[in-house]
Amino acid sequence: RCVLLGVSCGANIANYVARKAVETGKLLDPVKVVAQILMYPFYVGSVPTHSEIKLANSYFYDKAMCMLAWKLFLPEKEFSLDHPAANPLVPGHGPPLKLMPPTLTVVAEHDWMRDRAIAYSEELRKVNVDAPVLEYKDAVHEFATLDVLLRSPQAQVCAEDIAIWVKKYISLRGHEFSY
């Protein structure tokens, strides 16, 4: 029983791995992806969201720097901000969303990439995937993983919230592990 967790661009990787795991089906046996946690995913797209416009020049990672990162990462000949690694909302890329594992999404109030992460969660919920969004006020991208912010109240609450959610997917035969 495997729970994938990714932070920022690692959330994109976790989601991409989950999609590939769904596509391969039983080829991964005995490994089964039972859930994923996407912490402030590094999602982008060709059509800007409200938060991408409003917060583009905000804290830590501004949009210009992130666009440079995507230009360095995505295939040069096929460069598109709607590449499946960058934008999980483009139809026709990967398996149907209804087959995706339960997906917890963590977003920060002051993160310019938040709207697309929330929209992805909404699309998962529309097809009955357990996909809650945990939004943290007065928080920035990487608020729960950046060393200087680890002791913040939001980071502490986030760690507890994730632990509570994950327990229901890693328990055996419905019995919670005790820690």
- DSSP, collapsed to helix, strand or coil, labels residue 39 as strand
Please classify residue 177 by burial: count the beta carbons closer than 10 Å to its beta carbon, then call 0-12 exposed, 13-18 middle and 19+ buried. exposed
Q: Does residue 58 carry a catalytic annotation?
A: no
* Active-site hit among 51, 83, 110, 111: 111
What tokens were used for 52? 């991408």
Q: Which residues contact 72 (CB under 8 A, 6 or more apart)?
A: none
Cβ neighbours around 107 below 10 Å, total: 24
* Catalytic status, residue 8: yes
Catalytic residue among 8, 51, 83, 115: 8
Residues 6+ apart with CB under 8 A from 144: 39, 106, 136, 150, 154, 155, 158, 159
Among candidate residues 51, 110, 121, 141, the one labeled active-site is 141
Q: What residues are annotated to the active site?
A: 8, 111, 141
